Chain A
């Protein structure tokens, strides 16, 4: 609790501090590669038909390959302000781990990443990247051996080494002030996208679509559109092996209210309050909780949340690869898959912004296997 109070205080000062903002701006542009393009996906749009125009917010083009770096750069600067020489983080897909290891190297801080054993196997490439960046990667063998358990272990490390360590949470989850801090650092996605789409089309989009695991890329792009009531905000969760039977990660669609990792939000849990193991083919969505602000958006009907299956997500991946020559990560493949599915119900001539939160390099091996396994006619 004391560390959270300290973080809140340091952040509230940094937020108003011109020097901090300038420093952050500098690394975001010169180091990470902001602003990212808003790309008009014409061939994909044409395939959807009915005059629908799809714009991709290209977070996949950022340094390290995903939106996660927006947050780790910000929190890395906060850690330096607090004088903490060591960074720790949990990671699922490994993108947040890589982004944290990168920032640690950049800022001369020590770094340890907690990652579930299952994820270490399926996102091997990112494990190699983290180690090359000088981070220690610690396998987590408890529970489901995925993101939730990596969070547990990171929290246990943090309470042990709290005096010297800053815990960079990778999503809009965890105890206050984390959901607020991560949202603020990720809001750069939506701020840019909103400016870019207006410049490009002269108007606001009809809809903004993003995948939701913990929900950081979605909250980052949704938040600046919050007051634009005409803009539909659509979050896409992982239905995993499909409802009602298969395991999934669709917390907002299927969960109930609970408390995990210091957050009161929707949660996948049984009738006794035990947390149920989540599942998604996308390691970054494989989490039984979700950011509390998404729960709020759902409750006030500001955003709507849907889910697509592992199989549909693979279809989304192929669709974008074939039409645009972009290999998305499995996580935003869920957003693409939803768009493909929902297009017939969209208004004619709709303008849709999709957050392409990360690139698919980390997933190609797994996808190749999965597509062969499913007997696709179009296997790579």
Chain B
């Protein structure tokens, strides 16, 4: 049982919900990453999703686009992301860590080599938003022996047949995209989200976590009523952007609010 499975097994026993935090590696800097992760874990974040910056982040809104461009200008490469994971793993032995990346950097690295490197650095799962399960055979074949969870995205427009395929191909959890659109904090989530999550849960025993558009505690409460976890990305990066080098206070207070909403 890997760290992601153990996490959800524990949450199921405790009737808890997972709080998942997304960070673009290299924003605001590679040096700041361990400190931010320590803080998030200390505040009760259950799983860290590390984004490999990409030149053309198609599924991302303005916040993550800007963070990615920033990170690339800092010279962040796939190799440096793996180094960063190694550093984090030394500090957090049991923390579930996922990587979020677009397909082209994986393709360039070599799909098999990428999965092997993930296994070596003890990454637990990989999310590739522009890789649909229909095209993912090579990736899945490489990920399974590496013990890597393949986490696929389901959208509000996915028909039942595709949801079944997404469930079959996924390990760890299913990433339900709360809305039609790209990442980025929104004022409200579509009403169909809870019903969609419940119908996916009837289809599979995998946990379902919801991301895209989550901006604050009200939405977290809305999500965890139906889902097993919530993923916070752009709004967290915005809080990081509001912080200064010496104080992550805005991050701390923001994540505390979300954690409380998650438990409610």
Question: Could you tell me which A residues sit within 8 Å of B by CB distance?
Answer: 1-3, 142-143, 148-149, 152, 155-156, 159-163, 257-262, 267, 269, 271-275
Contact = CB atoms under 8 A, between A and B. Distances in A.
B108 interface: yes
Q: Is the interface of A mostly helix, strand, loop or mixed?
A: mixed
Most A CB within 10 A of own CB, among B77, B108, B130 = B108
B182 A2 contact: no
Interface in B148-203: 155, 157-159, 162, 180-182
B131 to A, nearest CB: 9
B257 interface: no
Interface string B50-62: 0000111011010
A78 B58 CA distance: 25
Most A CB within 10 A of own CB, among B56, B78, B155, B181 = B56
Contact of A1 (B61, B65, B162, B180): B162
A143 B109 CA distance: 23
Given A2-B157, A152-B58, A272 B181 contact: no
Most A CB within 10 A of own CB, among B54, B55, B107, B132 = B55
Nearest to B177: A159
Contacts of A272: 77-79, 105, 108-109
A146 B116 CA distance: 36
B58 A274 contact: no
Nearest to B159: A2
B104 interface: yes
A271 B109 CA distance: 8
Interface string B62-83: 0001000100100001110000
A159 B107 contact: no
Interface residues of B, number: 30
Most B CB within 10 A of own CB, among A152, A261, A273 = A273
Nearest to A3: B157
A258 B65 contact: no
A161 B156 CA distance: 12
Interface in B112-167: 130, 132, 134, 155, 157-159, 162
A273 B130 CA distance: 14
Interface of B: 54-56, 58-59, 61, 65, 69, 72, 77-79, 103-109, 130, 132, 134, 155, 157-159, 162, 180-182
B158 A259 contact: no
Given A152-B58, A159-B59, 12 more contacts: A2-B162, A152-B56, A156-B181, A160-B181, A160-B182, A162-B157, A258-B107, A261-B58, A262-B130, A271-B108, A272-B79, A274-B55
Contacts of A142: 65, 69
Given A162-B180, A272-B78, A272-B108, A143 B56 contact: yes
Nearest to B80: A272
Contact of B104 (A3, A143, A149, A258): A258
B181 A159 contact: yes
Nearest to A148: B56
Nearest to A267: B104
Given A272-B77, A274-B54, A2 B158 contact: yes
A259 B105 CA distance: 9
Contacts of B78: 272-273
A156 B157 contact: no
A117 to B, nearest CB: 15
A156 B182 contact: yes
A156 B157 CA distance: 15
A148 B104 CA distance: 15
Nearest first, the 3 A-B pairs at minimum CB distance are: A273-B108, A273-B105, A160-B181
Nearest to B79: A272
Nearest to B103: A259
7 contacts: A160-B181, A258-B104, A258-B107, A261-B58, A272-B109, A273-B78, A274-B54
Given A260-B104, A267-B104, A274 B181 contact: no
B107 A259 contact: yes
B104 A269 contact: yes
Contact of B108 (A143, A163, A269): A269
Contact of A159 (B55, B69, B162, B180): B180
Contacts of B155: 1-2
Contacts of B56: 143, 148-149, 152, 260-261, 275
Given A3-B157, A156-B182, A273 B58 contact: no
Contacts of A163: 157, 180
B180 A161 contact: yes
A342 B146 CA distance: 52
